[in-house]
Amino acid sequence: MSTLPFPHSTKVIAIDGPSASGKGTIAARIASILNRDYLDSGALYRLTALFAQQRQIDWTNEEQIAQLAAALPVIFIEGKILLNDLDVTHIIRSEEVGMNASKIAVYPLVRAALLQRQRGFLTARGLVADGRDMASVVFPSAELKIFLTASAQIRAERRALQLGISVNSDEFKQILADIEKRDTADRTRLVAPLQPVADAHILDTSSLNIEESVQKILDWYQIIEK
Ligand code: DC
C-alpha cells in the first residue's frame, strides 16, 4: 500500500480517533463551517462489510472482500447512503456492521482497494476526513492532523445517553465491552493501526462537548492559516 505523500492533500483536515469519540459529528461540523467536503471513511469499511455479508462471502476471504471494496456500488446523496440503490444509511450504523467492518479492516488488500476511493473525495473545495488512518496513510500531507481521545468509559456513557440507556444497566456494560473490543482490534492490527502520527494535535475530549471540541480544532486551523 502506498504511503507516499499525496500531492494534492494539503487542503485536508485529518481527524482520527477511536469508535464513539464523536469524530463524525465534529468532522462534519468543521466541514460545514469551512465549506469543505466531508469524508466519513468508516462508512466505506462499513459498506464493504455489509456488502460482503449480503453476498455471503466468507469473512476469511480477503481477496473477494477486496474485490467488493474496489467495486462498491455506492452513492452518497443528500445525506443518504445508497448501496445497490438501497438506502443503507441506518443499517450500516449498527454495532454488528461496525464489528464486521473492524474485522475486514485488518486486510491489506481491502485497505488498498479503498485507498484511491478515499483520496477521490478530495476536490478543490478541500476536505475534512475522519477515520483511523487519515493522517498516517490516506492523507499524510494533510495541513492539519487531529487525534481525538476520550476514555472508553466516557465514550460508552455518551453512546448510552444517545440511546437512552442507563449506565447501571447490563446493556451499558455490553456497550462498554463492545467499545473496548473494537478499540483493541483497531489499535493492535498490523496494518494501519489506530495511533497518532508524530505531527498530530492530540485532543482529549473527555471533558469537552462537541462545540468546545470543534472550537479547539478551529483555533488550531486558524494558527496554521496565518
Ligand atoms: O469510524 P467507524 O466506527 O465508522 O469505523 C468502523 C470500522 O472501520 C472501525 O472499527 C475500523 C474501520 N476503519 C478503519 O480501519 N479505517 C478507517 N479509516 C475508518 C474505519
Q: What's the confidence (pLDDT) of residue 15?
A: 97
**85-89 contacts: CB < 8 A, separation 24 or more?**
88/47, 88/50
Best residue among 40, 186, 188 to mutate for probing ligand 1's pocket (most ligand atoms within 8 Å of CB) is 186
CA 5 – CA 8 distance, rounded (Å): 9
Q: What's the confidence (pLDDT) of residue 130?
A: 97
Q: What's the confidence (pLDDT) of residue 119?
A: 94
Q: What's the confidence (pLDDT) of residue 39?
A: 95
Domain 12-217 grouped into CATH 3.40.50.300: yes
Instruction: Confirm whether pTM is higher than 0.85.
Output: yes
Please report the atom of ligand 1 found closest to the CA of residue 98: 6
Q: What's the confidence (pLDDT) of residue 68?
A: 97
* pLDDT block averages, 10 residues each, the chain of length 226: 50 93 94 96 97 97 97 92 96 92 95 94 95 95 95 93 92 94 90 91 94 97 84
Residue identified by cell 462471502 is 57
Q: What's the confidence (pLDDT) of residue 151?
A: 93
What residue ranges do the domains of the chain occupy?
A: 12-217
In this structure, what DSSP letter does residue 201 have?
A: E
Q: What's the confidence (pLDDT) of residue 224?
A: 82
C-alpha distances in Å from residue 101, one per residue of 95, 142, 181, 195, 216: 10, 25, 13, 18, 30
CA 4 – CA 115 distance, rounded (Å): 12
Please report the atom of ligand 1 found closest to the CA of residue 19: 3
CA 216 – CA 36 distance, rounded (Å): 18
> CA nearest 188: which of 67, 95, 87, 106?
106
